């Protein structure tokens, strides 16, 4: 067997409306399924504007009493990455959108191959918004992927 690509993510959320607003209005994803009472359960599916696949993200509402993600080091999802462009100008535009929407920036890192901002969705799922740094040839020098992390200055 050979995995061809990461197809989609499914996240449980407390409040579907709040999560739809975040992923649609802040991150700019296109809602393609649900978000209303048309499904037998409360859920919403999204596709990136590129329309690469039928859906890349599915949110399933589990209600306000659902357990929170435990803090600190734990087994399970740490974060997922969303590419927002190919230049620092595009990352600056993403930062401006986040700031205009009151989204807290958890971190900003220069990973040599990527420049990244870290945020959390309404349920605390951490998201890396990144750009691939132009001119970095990690395919011919994969050690660059493990380069020391530096603070990002935009």
Structural domain containing residue 88:
79-151
Based on the fold, state whether residues 91 and 30 are members of the same structural domain: no
Give pLDDT, residue 70.
87
Selection from 130, 121, 91 nearest residue 21 by Cα: 121
Residues of the chain with confidence (pLDDT) below 50? none
**76-89 pLDDT per residue, tens:** 889 999 999 999 99
Structural domains of the chain, count: 2
Tally Cβ neighbours within 10 Å of residue 132.
Answer: 14
**In a domain? residue 1:** no
């Amino acid at each position: 067997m050979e995995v061809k690509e990461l197809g989609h993510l499914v996240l449980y959320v407390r409040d579907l409306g709040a999560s739809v607003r975040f992923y649609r209005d802040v991150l700019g994803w296109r809602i393609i399924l649900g978000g209303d009472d048309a499904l037998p359960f409360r859920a919403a599916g999204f596709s990136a504007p590129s329309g690469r696949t039928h859906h890349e993200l599915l949110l399933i509402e589990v209600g306000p009493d659902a357990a929170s993600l435990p803090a600190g080091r734990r087994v399970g999802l740490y974060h997922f990455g969303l590419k927002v462009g190919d230049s620092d100008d595009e990352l600056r535009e993403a930062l401006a959108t986040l700031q205009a929407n009151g989204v807290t920036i958890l971190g900003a890192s220069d990973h040599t191959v990527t420049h990244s901002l870290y945020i959390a969705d309404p349920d605390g799922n951490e998201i890396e918004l990144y750009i691939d740094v132009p001119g970095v040839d990690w395919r011919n020098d994969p050690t660059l992927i493990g380069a020391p992390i530096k603070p990002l200055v935009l």
